[in-house]
Amino acid sequence: MGEPPGRAERRDAGGTTEGEEEDRWAQLPPELLPVVYKKLPDSADFVRFRTVCRAWRDAAPVDDPPSQLPWVVQRRGSAFQAARAHFRFYSPSSGRTYSVRGYGGRSWLVVAGACQEYLVTTVDLSTTALYNPLTGDRLALPPAPYPQWRHGVVHVVADAWNWLVVNTSTRTRHFGYCRPGDTKWSLVDGHQDMGHRAYHRGRFYVNTSAQETLVIDASTGAVESVLPPPPPPPPRSAGGGGGGVSCGDYLVESRGKLIRAVLFPRDGVVAASPEDYHLNVYQLDEAPHDGKAAAAAMWAKVDSVGDRVLFFDRHGHGFSLEGNGAAELRRDCVYFMHEKRTWVDAGEHRFLCRYSMEDREVDRVVSLADTFGDTWVVPGLCPSE
């Protein structure tokens, strides 16, 4: 006889009902579930994993997602763009593009360090906020110190202990910064060429066009010292970058150490393809030299970043993550962007490049759509407290 009306359950081709199917998945050994979800390529698959059944959801807390490559963010839109725009991301791990409902205008730049799951967004022409596009979580920021839509660029610098939101005037290169909970920006005026910087133990480190590094006390805005440029690269025949002018100069705080990465074309003139790059990496040596105080800090060349993976965007900002082979976060590597313009189609071609410190070569290149590649975000699913 058939099942009573209203009691029939949908069965698959093997005669299994939906309830039985869920029970079958729920009966997998609990110790196996973390092994499975830790190998998922990105956050979208992690979300799907948690929807299979209650046992899977309980085994995969949102504050313990699988490691993955950060997502590449679509370039920001016009500041006059209508509110409630969508954010678009490209996941190098899965090769997928995602679109997420936005808050306010397009993203400006991405937060690094302790809050790397947030974007910096503009709600209107003067209001700025940190926004997590996957949870909807928002952190308000003080009113912008510069006309945001005219010449203000926002990003975040961080170290192992603190993070600061920094708002730079693209016209004068002066900048203001605020900490979580601040009601106004602290302005650092009187210094030019403040584009590439990092925050480390209460100080801003800023690379200038002369390749010197200004050391600025964050509390007073005073320049404490000026570090000399790092040692020049050896000749190409000795395994160096061939000299010439650098095409990228980056600073990042990584596990309590300040790292500087300088990107060179191998022929010393121009990098025609992503594989033409060479990277020199330096670490800030703060130990006394010749009996002098630590103020005599200098850049010391290193051949490895250990188990870390460094990420830099085209604006000179970056962050550091721990290596994880299952998530393609290959240790001792540096990710950066290469942009190529062609006169034939008057277009831009962007590439995501991975430089291996061990092999001293660009060992992976991913072609990006020309609207992607300005910066990164590490997807975060856990709302802030």
DSSP 200-268: ETTEEEEE-TTS-EEEEETTT--EEEEEPPPPPPPPGGGTS--SS--SEEEEEEETTEEEEEEEEETTS
Q: Apex CA 214: angle with CA 210 and CA 217, to 5°?
A: 170
Radius of gyration of the chain (CA): 24
Q: Where are the beta strands (DSSP E) in 266-332?
A: 277-285, 298-302, 308-312, 318-322
Residue where a domain terminates, one of 9, 30, 59: 59
Cβ(310)–Cβ(107) below 8 Å: no
What sections of the chain are H helices per DSSP? 18-26, 33-37, 43-50, 54-59, 148-151
What is the mean pLDDT of the segment spanning 29-34?
87
Domain assignment of residue 5, yes or no: no
- Mean pLDDT (the chain) is 75
What is the C-alpha end-to-end distance of the chain, expressed in Å? Answer: 56
* Per-residue pLDDT reduced to its tens digit, 224-256: 888 999 887 666 544 454 455 677 888 888 888
**Quick one: 176 and 117 in the same domain?**
yes
Mean pLDDT within 367-379: 80
Distance CA 257, CA 136 (A): 32
More confident call, 169 vs 21: 169
**161: domain range?**
71-377
Report which secondary-structure segment, H or E, holds 341.
strand 333-342
pLDDT per position as a tens digit, 217-228: 888 888 888 899
Instruction: Decide if 25 is inside a domain.
Output: yes
pLDDT of residue 111: 45
**CATH value at residue 355:** 2.120.10
In a domain, 139, yes or no: yes
Domain membership flag for residue 191: yes
Pairing of strands 107-110, 96-101: unpaired
Q: Indicate whether 90 and 54 sit together in one domain.
A: no
Last residue of a domain, one of 5, 33, 59: 59
23 and 146 co-located in one domain: no
Domain final residue pick, 59, 90, 112:
59
DSSP-based three-state secondary structure for 295: helix
pLDDT tens-digit readout, 151-167: 566 676 766 566 777 77
Question: Is residue 3 predicted with pLDDT exceeding 50?
Answer: no
For the ranges 32-36, 194-198, 289-293, the lowest mean pLDDT is seen at: 289-293
Shared-domain flag, residues 38 and 171: no
pLDDT at 6: 46
Cα dist. 298→126, 149, 159, 178, 261 in Å? 39, 38, 19, 28, 14
Over residues 79-99, the pLDDT tens digits come to: 444 444 577 888 888 888 888
